[in-house]
Structure 1
């Protein structure tokens, strides 16, 4: 099975392989105290699409709003992981550094994710991106199962992967709502096709921006998450809006897709727990 080469106008951009490898179990995504607000402000201001004539940049009837919604969902997922990390630090009885101001998970949930917080649609956008991840994994399921059967995926990894790919949620029609919205907007008219090309370029810029994150652990997990989301867009939309060929997605992208799905699932679970 041939895997596609580096695409100049593809959705994904990832670093060339090096001799540095990370075991995510030994390099977990926990609370570091790093303030990434400037990075996210830049992302929303410069990577997102903005139109002074549009009242809602997340729910307007066009592809640009869909892109904004997906990026916002990514931000919401990261915020959920920060909140989870704060709670875990408290549970473990660990002290916060003196300069850390985020020490209350409930306060941070209200500020970052609640409808009355800084981004009123943060949770809605999180679910939107989560549905995209689920749809992409469902679309790539046969490829992943073939790789498990052929031995291309390590036996331990394949054993962990098979139950995920067999989960009934991947066959639930409701998860395809977000992807259908993306597709319909992407092929709506000539302007949508042009916006789709620009969105691909911006998704690649999003990965470059992650290199500006000054926390090594945050940068690592941020880049994996971005690659996972952009891979989902590659699978769902491809270059034309009609979908990509999952059989030609690189293994690096598939690994990021599955890892990011786990992150989004964890974020959704945290939101449900905080709301209960």
Structure 2
């Protein structure tokens, strides 16, 4: 029989209460820290955007609940998953033969027989008639501007004129790869996804530094915030930069916000598809909250992170406006998203049209008429300067040492450049013929694939913010 000490029955509940009291405070504190983490990243990313009438909450609801699922389905189709790029072009700005030796930097090109015949056939370029006549003979492919003589005279004329249009067009914002180059290869974007590769440090920052410091509109003496290659990374520098940026005209502010938004989007992708575990058996990719906070947390970035996220929404509005305005180009009965499978091609076009109508119905579009307004000569001069700066950025992509980063960098800059081309071609789109070539405006297949995939990346980034917010709430 066990003997109890006097008062033991009354002491035991008291001791239990004291022990529980010591443990209980940790739970509220953990919740407070979690709320603080989410608050630190997202507290300033609300409400209306600079230079826009739209707000963040409207974009979140529209993208996450309506557009994102349809867009992902579209980008899985054969027409949009194959992108042709030359990843072997030398850097045009500095001598740099160093390439990323990390295996995740590699890109796996498509075998020739894996690409749908309607995509790789040069015989179809602009017309349904040309598409249905198959590929050009090998020897004709080698001749610049070769035309399949089995086509109708109208198709031959359209093909020839569009070749001339592509070669001489001055409405492009990007340097396009030569698709006929022996170094240009088709890449399946679904098996070469954009994700963290380990490419970082001075090589990666050299690319971004060249983009920001040499191509954004600002005096070289004014350094952007948190540039690791610049001295004086203090709060005073950040304040000076943004006070100067806000003093720019709307076009030059827009240029910076587009580049910053693209940069933010890429960083979100890398944080969302981070290499969490790498063993000889398997690799696990997933969300890295710490990496996300390092890039966007207000405290860790001296309040720069929330600005970057707001710029992500800005580029979303720009690209959304572009795809809404290009609807007439795709709605033409003669236009096909041709791969060689008639049934699937029709379904793909119908899905694309559905997405573009959703985009058109968005209630708070960016007003591109606010750009390049005023004196026509001055506006035209500024637009050309804008175009040349962006073309430079597209060329910088050939300096990226990681091939997978180079692939997605080229695609996303070409997509954004195509969006800008659309926004500044409103009259040409309005005057476009229902059938046959419309000499004032045209999109090549590469531009179409880049435009929708680039917007898909921005859309994915907005969706991922919802995921990171939930993860930070549960930290």
**TM band (smaller chain):** 0.7 to 0.9
1:144 to 312, 330, 335: 330
Deviates more, 1:226-235 or 1:104-113: 104-113
Query: Helix, strand or coil: the match of 2:399?
Result: coil
**Is this contact kept in 1: 2:272–2:287, CA < 8 A?**
no
2:468 is aligned to 274
Give the TM-score of the pair, scaled to structure 1.
0.82
Pair 1:43 & 2:211 matched: yes
Give the TM-score of the pair, scaled to structure 2.
0.49
**Is this contact kept in 2: 1:234–1:243, CA < 8 A?**
no
2:187 is aligned to 22
Structure with the bigger percentage of helix: 1
1:66 to 231, 254, 264: 254
1:224 is aligned to 411
The alignment's C-alpha RMSD in Å is: 2.8
Pair 1:122 & 2:308 matched: yes
2:278 is aligned to 94
2:234 is aligned to none
**CA 1:194–1:271 in structure 2 vs 1: closer, same or farther (change >3 Å)?**
same
Query: Helix, strand or coil: the match of 1:22?
Result: strand
The correspondence of residues 100-249 of structure 1 with structure 2, limited to 5 A, is 105-116=288-299, 117=301, 118-146=304-332, 150-154=335-339, 155=341, 156=344, 159-160=347-348, 162-167=350-355, 168-174=358-364, 176-177=365-366, 180=367, 182-189=368-375, 190-238=377-425, 245=429, 247-249=441-443
Which runs of 5 or more structure 1 residues have no equivalent in the other structure?
97-102
**Is this contact kept in 1: 2:323–2:359, CA < 8 A?**
no
How many positions carry a matched residue from both structures?
258
- Post-superposition offset of 1:38: 2.1
**CA 1:163–1:10 in structure 2 vs 1: closer, same or farther (change >3 Å)?**
closer
- Post-superposition offset of 1:163: 2.8
Which runs of 5 or more structure 2 residues have no equivalent in the other structure?
1-125, 127-157, 223-239, 281-285, 433-440, 471-475
1: CA distance, partners of 2:327 / 2:396: 30
- Post-superposition offset of 1:119: 4.3
Alpha-carbon displacement from aligned partner over 1:122-179 (angstroms, at most 9, x marks no partner): 11111111111111111122322437x64343354653453343143441121x22xx
Larger radius of gyration: 2
Alpha-carbon displacement from aligned partner over 1:217-239 (angstroms, at most 9, x marks no partner): 1101100000000100000024x
2:226 is aligned to none
2: CA distance, partners of 1:226 / 1:16: 16
